Amino acid sequence: MSTAPARVRGRASNVSVGLFVATLLLGFAALRVLELAPPAAPVDPEPELAAGDGIVRSAWSATLDLGGARVRARLVPLHDEAVLQSFRAGALRAHFALATGEPWRLVLALEPGSAAPLSVSSVRVHGADGTEMRPLRELVPAPANGDPLWTLFGAALAPLEDGVERPILLWGPPPADGARLELAGEPGSASVGLRRGDPAPAESRSFAGEPLAVETLPSPEDEVALLRSELLHERALRAEREQDFREFHRLIDEIPRLGSAAVAPQEHAATESEEERAQREAAEAARARADEMGRALSVLMRFEGLRGMDLLESGTLLDGAIGPVVFRCLDERGLLAGSVNARRLRLEGSRAAHTLTLVLEDGYESRGGERVPFATGSRRIVLPDVDPGPWFESCPELFEGFALASPEDDGAWDLDALRRELNRLLALDSENGWYRLHSLGGVRASALLDVQLEELDASGRLRRRIFSDRMFLGVEDASVVLELEDSALVRGSEKQAFRDGRYRIVLPGAAREDWHRALLPGLSDPPPRKGEPPAAGQEPVPDR
């Protein structure tokens, strides 16, 4: 009983060993077979479709005249993706049994302002190699039972309207250089060459008419921002030009004067005569005095608030003036705006009117590169409410007939009596208005000093005031004349200096006999003082 199981276990172990050996032999044989077998051909990967493979990715455009209307045309592939364009071409070719070719979108539109509507009956694209593109409706007849694809792609081209794009599907090979577009309709036919270009970034896939793309105008906010940036740029340029202008004049000022640096004093003494030396010294002195007055004028102008003009060049001293002078004009921001050039500069002042006037003669104003001469040959710049005394102290040569110190009354006339007598005579002729002497500062010889006249209308209302440093009385022909010097007129809050500082008032209705009988400066001798015998023809002064 004990030997049988042992024999069974021995046979089982032998079978297991045999199966293991057999498995090893089969595996070794399989590996050997694979090694000895000829190498298999490599499996080709699925070919990739390169972008634009077999498709021309450019667009074509053209503009042509058709019956007096301007038509814009744009020819692009049906799809802007190469894979989708290739798939759609194969699908349409199989569905409609078409010849070799691809679908293309032709978009037509009228230019703004062209006559509308415009009917187009025939569309062709002729290639330079003899190929042709035609509408799908001409290649495939309309199916009897209806076809959605033919309804979409084979629809007839609608009439062209102003501002609307009309697409139509064409079938054919891609166009090449030299292709031409041919349109025919009721107005006639036209043909034009297509120009290659880049397609629009996002072509519409719709085959319905769409509004023509119109260039949008910038918003007011964008325009304001653009204008502000341009203004800042211009301001920077003007500041740079002004800095260059200042640097230029600084360099000019550093150049030595010709008479003093070009030739040494020893050489002058040996080469010039006494007369030439005297002329040179006089010219140098005149230039030096003009420079000195120019610096004083610049300070006084700034002190009085005249900051819109800056004196750059004072020239030399002339007879009652300096020149030629150059002023730099500045705007309200202190930036350079132009210049004023004049051959002569002189001054006029009035103590009574408290006014100073700068008189520029024979010159021009330059703004924006354009020279504009003075309209009347001179330009007067009036500074109201300015005491001319400091100006006279610094530049007495620029004043003509102007005394610094106010002339004192010589005491020969009774000022109150004289003022009453003048007012009586001035009021004799009041039909159209009259003048009234408001104040009188004094009398010296025949001149009435620091005079203020008031002009009244017929009803006695004040029209204007006239201030004058000196007034002279005179009789010419049948009229009485009042001559005023260094005068200014004030009407309301406006003050205006008279041209050349002189003003004449003619009284044509005044009785000359009354003026001659009266005792007035310039028309008669002064009345005698108290206790003095009267002159011949004069009445004695009554005691007061």
pLDDT in tens, 256-265: 554 444 445 5
DSSP 321: E
| CB environment 434-470: b (16+ within 10 A), e (fewer) | bbbbeebbbbbeebbbbbbbbbbeeeeeeeebbbbbb
Residue 487 in domain: yes
Same domain for 379 and 433, yes or no, is: no
Which of 369, 398, 427 represents a domain boundary (last residue)?
398
In-domain check, residue 63: yes
The per-residue b/e assignment along 182-199, b for 16 or more CB within 10 angstroms, e otherwise, is: ebebebeebebebeeeeb
Query: What average pLDDT does this structure show over 172-183?
Result: 87
Instruction: Take residue 20 and report the two structure tokens written for it.
Output: 């293991």
Whole-model pTM: value is 0.38
182-222 pLDDT, tens per residue? 888 877 788 888 888 765 555 555 555 555 555 567 788 88
CATH number for position 186:
2.60.40
Going from the C-alpha of 175 to that of each of 100, 131, 180, 195, the distances in angstroms are 13, 8, 9, 11
Whether residue 509 is found in the same domain as residue 437: yes
531 pLDDT more than 70? no
Is 18 part of a structural domain of the chain? no
Contact (Cβ atoms closer than 8 angstroms) between residue 49 and residue 86 = yes
pLDDT of 316-366, one tens digit each?
A: 999 889 999 999 888 777 778 888 999 999 998 877 777 888 999 999 998
Give the model's pLDDT for residue 154: 80
Task: Find the mean pLDDT for residues 431-455.
Answer: 86
How confident is the model at residue 260, as a pLDDT? 45
Which residues lie across from 455 on neighbouring strands? 435, 464
Confidence check: pLDDT of 403 > 70: no
**Residue with more model confidence, 269 or 435:** 435
Residues 194 and 299 reside in one and the same domain? no
Last residue of a domain, one of 210, 235, 261: 210
Residue 505 lies in a domain: yes
Residues 394-406 as b/e (b if ≥16 CB within 10 A, e otherwise) read ebebbbeebeeee
pLDDT (0 to 100) of residue 261: 47
Whole-angstrom distance, CA of residue 162 vs CA of residue 144 = 35
In this structure, is residue 91 part of a structural domain?
Answer: yes
The first and second tokens of residue 523, run together, are: 């028309």
Do residues 384 and 348 share a domain? yes
Cis before 534 (ω within 30)? no
Number of independent structural domains in the chain: 3
- The two tokens of residue 423 are 């007012």
Average pLDDT over residues 530-536: 55
On average, the pLDDT of the chain sits at 78
Residue 471 belongs to some domain of the structure: yes
Domain final residue, candidates 210, 226, 244: 210
**Rounded CA gap, 500 and 489, in Å?**
13
Q: Is 22 helix (H, G, I), strand (E, B) or coil?
A: helix
More confident: 506 or 540 = 506
User: Domain of 310?
Assistant: 273-398
Side-chain half-sphere CA neighbours of 274 within 13 A: 0
Question: Does residue 430 share a domain with residue 381?
Answer: no
317 and 189 within one domain: no
Comparing CA positions, the residue from 315, 372, 377, 306 lying closest to residue 340 is: 372
Residue 232 lies in a domain: no
Q: 85-132, pLDDT tens digit by residue?
A: 888 889 888 888 888 889 988 888 888 777 667 888 888 898 888 888
204 plus 278 within the same structural domain = no
With 80 as the cut, is the pLDDT of residue 524 above it? yes
Residue 268 lies in a domain: no
Residue 288 shares a structural domain with residue 382: yes
Q: Tell me, yes or no, whether 437 and 369 share the same domain.
A: no
* Secondary structure class of 444 (helix, strand, coil): strand
421 and 370: one domain? no
428 and 340: one domain?
A: no
Instruction: Kindly tell me if the per-residue pLDDT of 50 is higher than 50.
Output: no
Question: For residue 200, what pLDDT is reported?
Answer: 52
Check whether residue 65 and residue 198 sit in a common domain.
yes
